[in-house]
Structure 1
């Protein structure tokens, strides 16, 4: 409910991605709420969960690697930059890495204790694990819908947000030929 609406989904590989889901905000966004970010994390974990449901845990692939990487970056920023951890409080822990010019990067580092580093890692892990559990719960409850979406993607390869809504509602997407 706190996520941006779906704009498009495709299974056509591009670059390193085997497919993608694009969401677009309904308006300008100047800041992100905790609720919004937690929803984003659950969405990012959805691909891995769907793979596990479809193929079994022992047959999952590296297909969700980009989503897992992005989820980890977001969770780490939530903990180290935006103060979204009760255990660490409202403190920023210099985990910033900014791209400069010509591909050179500069890292602003802050010395933190090993204990604090372990708490940061545990909090990031907790956010990711919670997102995984949320994705698993949603996909379990909405199995019919995500199977219809997967079948629609196999048939059409690319779907608009409106076509996705139609599939989930049990309708065939209306397409202009």
Structure 2
């Protein structure tokens, strides 16, 4: 809590890269708006940064730097505030780890049961004039969810192109794109032989 260390170097590098992408690629800043800045012509032999060309002025580059720094500073402060709010939980975790060295899931859950969460942030819409919709997302019918469950690898199974996914209870085989499943029209759905 009191001594900065070099251990966060890689985290800072990744956070900076993500914050810069939020500003330059994803349009996640009110000052610049929904615009993609820079051309990312990937040149594998030149290195990542040399393959990036800037198509904006020095003034815009200064705004990009300011917005990137602001995102990082805000996130850093929020993380610090959350850690400080939960210092007692972190201290309890340290004492348990010093005593036992390893904790199982239930032991960790017992320690983190007292964790105090920060309030959720409101949805960011890019402008104070835009309000998030109160309409909930589309509800996918259970029949469709059952039919496609697990065919995209979301249930922990790996999807290998051209290798049929195990037959689910509903009897539909989904073959991922690749040999045997065409990306351009044929979704790879077939009925199993009976």
What TM-score bracket applies, with the shorter chain setting the length? 0.5 to 0.7
Give the aligned partner of residue 71 of structure 1: 15
| TM-score normalised over the length of structure 1 | 0.53
Deviations along 1:80-107, whole A, 9 cap, x unmatched? 100001111111112647474x895561
Counterpart check, 1:115 vs 2:59: yes
Cα distance in 2 for partners of 1:85, 1:164 equals: 37
| TM-score normalised over the length of structure 2 | 0.49
Over the aligned positions, Cα root-mean-square deviation in angstroms equals 2.9
Local SS of the residue matching 1:91: coil
Q: Which has the higher helix share?
A: 1
Q: What are structure 2's unaligned runs of at least 5 residues?
A: 115-194
Give the aligned partner of residue 4 of structure 2: 60
Contact 1:80 1:95 (C-alpha < 8 Å) held by counterparts: no
Cα distance in 1 for partners of 2:15, 2:103 equals: 24
Q: Which has the higher strand share?
A: 1
Counterpart check, 1:88 vs 2:32: yes
Question: Which structure 2 residues correspond to residues 14-163 of structure 1 after superposition, within 5 A?
Answer: 53=1, 56=2, 59-94=3-38, 96=40, 98=42, 100=44, 105=48, 107-155=51-99, 163=107
- The runs of at least 4 consecutive aligned structure 1 residues that moved more than 6 Å come to none
- How many aligned residue pairs are there? 113
Deviation of residue 150 (structure 1)?
3.3
Contact 1:148 1:168 (C-alpha < 8 Å) held by counterparts: no
Contact 2:42 2:51 (C-alpha < 8 Å) held by counterparts: yes
Describe the shift of the 1:137–1:104 C-alpha distance in structure 2 as closer, same or farther (beyond 3 A). Answer: closer
Structure number with higher relative contact order (C-alpha < 8 Å, ≥ 6 residues apart): 1
